[in-house]
Amino acid sequence: MGFTSLPETVPTTMSAMLLTGHGDVDKLVYRQDVATPRPAAGEVLVKVTATAKNNTDRKAREGLYPTKDKGEVASFAMGGSPTLTFPRIQGADVVGQVVAVGDGVDASRLGERGLLDFNLYADERRDINLTPDYYGHGADGGYAEYIAVPSDQFHHVPNPELSDAELAAMGMCSYQTAYHMMTSAGIKAGERVLVTGASGGVGTALIQLCRIVGAVPYALSQRDKAQALLNLGAEAVLDRSDMSDFTEQVKAVTDGAPIDAVMDLVGGEMTDRFIDTMIFDMNARASYPRLSIAGASGGNVSEIMWTRIYLYQVQIFGVSHGTREEAEQLVAWIRDGQLKPVLHAAFKLSELHEAERYFVNRGSNYLGKIVIVPDSEWAQHGAPHALEGHQ
């Protein structure tokens, strides 16, 4: 197997954070003697400079993807054997520089700064993606100094106004999930869209993407995050700490009109109330009420009367991953400057335990994404975005 690299020598070993099993953060073990991957034919070797943290990292580590019994503790498998095996390097939203190319990849790609489309796709190019596996789960991800990935999934993003950490904050795990929530529900210009969990990575992506396609986003979040979400593009922000008479609160900000579609990242007991905001006046609707769900931060079980679903013709879309075409559209919007990063802070790779605890216990000032930077890249790519006291 041959490859071409930059003049700098690619080391034989690297630092990486290894997930060694299901459990707490103690299952994440920092090693400095992990074999550096080599790019196969059609692949590029990327020197990682920043990788955004996603909630799916924690859920996969803790085994919180039950698909049969609500009490089951497991990682998901779409068929056959589970692809999450140990040890595994997590981290899906990878940014870095191409330092080597495998056979069949043009050497002109050497030196490119880019962003990874995190999906592990089936071989054929399809307009659906029914096997939602990804780098950091079914294959090693970016919590390391190097990663080998398909050349056509590492997209060149030269934009000098974006730091590597900021680019990672616009990674595909959040933005592609958000966009696929919208395309699945057929969101159109002028439609009113309720975005739940609006302050997280997918939520902030949804607000921006709604504005790009001409839809009107209404955000559900904490009151003290309202101004930041309004600045990002939300039409109005509803306080999640006061869900009494929620439909009346929605009417107050929509001039009495129903929500056209809900982009739900919360689930749990709230789902039924979100549906209420779409069906209180069916005569005022011009389209079917639609619910896209891509998260369950409020609970994995919702109690809903099916008669409400079929009598009111509510369309429900389960969303995990998107398509190659959606990823390419997002990269085009990033290159054009239409999407903006919402970066909260950067942490060193060796401090991933602390980053995980911070993420779980994040306070009211949290908005957007946390990014993990290899220690060897910290001075340039991490320190400028560190929390106070972490420089």
pLDDT at 244: 84
CA–CA distance from 205 to each of 94, 198, 368, 371 (Å)? 17, 9, 9, 16
Q: What is the mean pLDDT of residues 341-370?
A: 92
User: Quick check: 268 pLDDT over 90?
Assistant: no
Q: Is the confidence at residue 69, as pLDDT, over 70?
A: no
pLDDT (mean) for 101-117:
97
pLDDT greater at residue 226 or residue 295: 226
Model pLDDT for residues 318-341, shown as the tens digit of each residue: 998 889 999 999 999 999 999 999
| Average of per-residue pLDDT across 245-270 | 95
pLDDT value at 78 more than 90: no
Q: Is the pLDDT of residue 152 over 90?
A: yes
Choice among 20-34, 37-51, 121-135, 239-253 with the minimum mean pLDDT:
121-135
pLDDT tens digits, residue range 201-246? 999 999 999 999 999 999 999 889 999 999 999 999 999 888 889 9
Determine the average pLDDT of the residues in 14-23.
96
CA pair distance 162, 313, nearest whole angstrom = 44
Per the prediction, the chain carries an average pLDDT of: 92
Distance (Å, rounded) from C-alpha 377 to C-alpha 346? 12
Mean per-residue pLDDT, 264-289: 94
Rounded to an integer, the average pLDDT of 309-324 is: 94
pLDDT for residue 5 is more than 80: no
- 391: confidence class by pLDDT, cuts 50, 70, 90: low
Q: Residue ranges of the alpha helices (H) in the chain? A: 55-62, 164-168, 172-185, 201-213, 226-232, 246-254, 270-279, 306-311, 324-335, 352-360
Position 3 confidence tier, pLDDT thresholds 50, 70, 90? confident
Secondary structure (DSSP) of 269-331: THHHHHHHHHHTTGGG-SS--EEEE---TTBS-----HHHHHHTT-EEEE-S---HHHHHHHH
On whether the pTM is more than 0.75, the answer is yes
Three-class DSSP category at 92: coil
Please say whether the dihedral angle defined by the alpha carbons of residues 114, 117, 122 and 127, taken in this order, is positive or negative: negative
Q: Is there a contact between 329 and 323 (Cβ–Cβ < 8 Å)?
A: no
Average pLDDT over residues 93-109: 97
Residue 135, pLDDT > 80, answer yes
